[in-house]
Structure 1
Amino acid sequence: MKALLSHQPGGPESLRLEDVPVPSPGPGELLVRVRACAINFPDVLIIEDKYQLKPPRPFAPGGEIAGEVLAAGQGAAGWSVGDRLIAALGFGGLAEQVIVPADRAIPLPAERSFEQGSALLMTYATVIHALVDRGKLQAGQTLLVLGAAGGVGIAAVETGKALGAKVIAAVSSEEKAAAAREAGADVTLIYPTGEVEPKALSQLFKDAVGAAGADVILDPVGGIYTEAALRSIAWEGRFLVVGFPAGIAKLPLNLTLLKNCDVCGVFWGAFAARDPKANAAHVAQLFRWWSEGRISPRVSATYPLERAADAIAAIRDRKAVGKLVVTL
């Protein structure tokens, strides 16, 4: 079978498409034919050895997949050959076949495409955990979403609206603003990129959220945008740290004192491992919202396996709107 492998730390150009042996499922495992693998920012980091998870090389990146069961190991109860599923694996998804622990596999309804199914977990499950568990977002409150046209961003806009919030979407272009509005954002703002004057940037956020400030801010961007956004937070607001494609920010902690606010880390993978029942309840809620049309994973482009490195490069360069998916 074919797999896109990382042999040494490097960018997408360092990945190599190779023939590898087909794995065999052990106890409690499924052998899955991968039909779609969504690309996320951790795929950029993991091949550069900059992610918290560092698998032994060679390995295939690709943290979330959708596919069909080819074989089930002993004890993989409840699964049969041909069953459709989605799973978040951390890595290994950019291969024609992959081993999936049965207890991490989630059935994919027949009416849902593999492409959309692969794009659900790492964005929407992260966001529902962030907004509900960490941000305590309530109906009627104001949510500010940075990077609101990326995979996490669009998921946050839709999930925020499903929870009854007023959603302010911050993006870097008019094209991305249109995508955020299509996802349901009440207000959009376009922030500048490159050299930015910090006070002017923070004023943009303050003007967009209004005098009362944002009750919850979801930040999957980092860099200079973090402090500027924090300055627009409401009294006792919650600032959710999700990612850092623009760089890891340093915050003046006096801002948290002045607003009596919380800065909360969001690590969905560890949450799902530590509290699988709570995560399963969130995923069930996501499927209900999906069936009601309140959320819908947006796949803006698909790539064949031999061009998966291009998809990772597009995520690295922050060119993607919604999710990019590799189809097999």
Structure 2
Amino acid sequence: MRAVVVSGLSGPGAMTLTDVAEPSGDGLVVIDVEASGVCFPDLLVTYGKYQLRPQPPFVPGTEVAGVVVSAPEGSGFTPGQHVVAAPGIGGYAEKVAVPPEMVLPIPEDLPFDRAASLIINYQTVEFALTRRARLQPDETVVVLGAAGGVGTASIQLAKAHGARVIAVVRREGADDYLRELGADEVVRLEDGWGERVRELADGGADIVMDPIGGPSFDEAVRVLAPEGRLVVIGFAGGSIPEIKVNRVLFRNISVVGAAWGEFVRTRPEALREVHESLMELVGEGLEPVVTVRYPIERAADALIDLEAGRILGKAVLVYG
């Protein structure tokens, strides 16, 4: 079978498509992969900068959608079933073998490319909004990095849960698309963005979703209303910010982390709980975002484009 192999920890340029042995199915669910999500963990692992640090050669890829080839007895899966899975690594391949607890069923009418986007972005955001931030209907949610994969998922899921959404974006030309996804307001990430958000949020936001960190973090704290929650999802901006806790104390605000992968490692049952919640929303009309589809032969280009900020929303790899 074909797979994308990382031969050195120097980034996407060290990836090549090559023939490798098919994975063993002993105790695992073997999946014919139809689509693989493209996400920041996939990029970071090619540099050896992710929490999971496999040594080359290895196959990257943390989220897949496809069809079950074989499954252990008692796993609840059968050949021909449509599924998504979180293999950790190995997803940039035509076949992957995954522990049954990391495999989830999907309806047959959900396209594989859209299904592949559900694992990293949508599960993270659903966990962040509902469990970590305790989002309530009619609250105001500010989404930083709104044009990226986590940002677009945040807009959709916040709206699906009844929130008012203010999208904050640096990228030019994305405003109309973000409004189509559900953003009520779009604010440019430039000098004065926090003041504009406070005006639109009638004094302050209930929740700020922050997947970028970096220089915008301090202003993100300032836009919170009393009892507001800033949810730290990642550091796509490059630097890890710090906060003086007296600001948290005297303003009666919360700063909470949403590390979905680490949470699932210690609470694996949460994976299915969040997936079931997402499937309910899909059944109600939620359409997972996929804006760019790359053939597997262009996997390196997909990660290079992700790193350069050229992808609006979510990209996936497709096979065939």
- Which range moves more in the overlay, 130-139 or 242-251? 242-251
Residue 210 of structure 1 and its aligned partner are, at CA, apart by 3.1
1:86 alignment partner, one of 61, 72, 84 = 84
CA distance in 1 between partners of 2:39 and 2:233 (Å):
13
SS at the partner of 2:80?
Answer: coil
Q: How does 1:139-288 map to 2 (within 5 A)?
A: 139-192=137-190, 200-211=192-203, 213-253=204-244, 254-288=246-280
1:129 alignment partner, one of 124, 127, 130 = 127
**TM-score, scaled to structure 1:** 0.92
Q: How does 1:36-115 map to 2 (within 5 A)?
A: 36-73=35-72, 75=73, 77-115=75-113
- Which range moves more in the overlay, 33-42 or 64-73? 64-73
Cα displacement string for residues 52-90 of structure 1 (whole angstroms, at most 9, x for unaligned residues): 1112321111110001112224x4532222211101222
**TM-score, scaled to structure 2:** 0.95
Task: Kindly indicate whether the alpha-carbon contact (under 8 Å) linking 1:224 and 1:249 is maintained by their aligned counterparts in 2.
Answer: no
Q: What is the aligned partner in structure 2 of residue 16 from structure 1?
A: 16
Alpha carbons of structure 1 residues 98 and 141: separation in structure 2 relative to 1, 3 Å? same
What residue ranges of structure 1 are gaps of 5+ in the alignment?
A: none
Residue 178 of structure 1 and its aligned partner are, at CA, apart by 1.7
CA distance in 1 between partners of 2:135 and 2:75 (Å):
37
CA distance in 2 between partners of 1:43 and 1:57 (Å):
14
- Report the identity percentage: 38
Cα displacement string for residues 129-179 of structure 1 (whole angstroms, at most 9, x for unaligned residues): 101111111111111010112111111111111111111111123422222
CA distance in 2 between partners of 1:183 and 1:33 (Å):
31
CA distance in 1 between partners of 2:117 and 2:240 (Å):
27
Residue 225 of structure 1 and its aligned partner are, at CA, apart by 1.4
What residue ranges of structure 2 are gaps of 5+ in the alignment?
A: none
Residue 287 of structure 1 and its aligned partner are, at CA, apart by 0.7
CA distance in 1 between partners of 2:138 and 2:78 (Å):
44
Which AA in structure 2 matches 1:203? E
Which AA in structure 2 matches 1:220? P
CA distance in 2 between partners of 1:273 and 1:280 (Å):
13
CA distance in 1 between partners of 2:282 and 2:123 (Å):
13
CA distance in 2 between partners of 1:256 and 1:314 (Å):
37
Residue 316 of structure 1 and its aligned partner are, at CA, apart by 1.0
CA distance in 2 between partners of 1:256 and 1:142 (Å):
19
CA distance in 2 between partners of 1:258 and 1:321 (Å):
38
Task: Kindly indicate whether the alpha-carbon contact (under 8 Å) linking 1:235 and 1:259 is maintained by their aligned counterparts in 2.
Answer: yes
- Give the count of matched residue pairs: 318
Residue 32 of structure 1 and its aligned partner are, at CA, apart by 1.1
Task: Kindly indicate whether the alpha-carbon contact (under 8 Å) linking 1:30 and 1:76 is maintained by their aligned counterparts in 2.
Answer: no
SS at the partner of 2:41?
Answer: helix
Residue 309 of structure 1 and its aligned partner are, at CA, apart by 0.9
Q: What is the aligned partner in structure 1 of residue 312 from structure 2?
A: 321
Cα displacement string for residues 77-112 of structure 1 (whole angstroms, at most 9, x for unaligned residues): 322222111012222111111111112111121101
SS at the partner of 2:174?
Answer: helix
Residue 35 of structure 1 and its aligned partner are, at CA, apart by 0.6
Residue 40 of structure 1 and its aligned partner are, at CA, apart by 0.6
CA distance in 1 between partners of 2:318 and 2:110 (Å):
15
Alpha carbons of structure 1 residues 255 and 312: separation in structure 2 relative to 1, 3 Å? same
Residue 244 of structure 1 and its aligned partner are, at CA, apart by 1.0
Question: What do you get for the CA RMSD once the two structures are aligned?
Answer: 1.6
Residue 228 of structure 1 and its aligned partner are, at CA, apart by 1.5
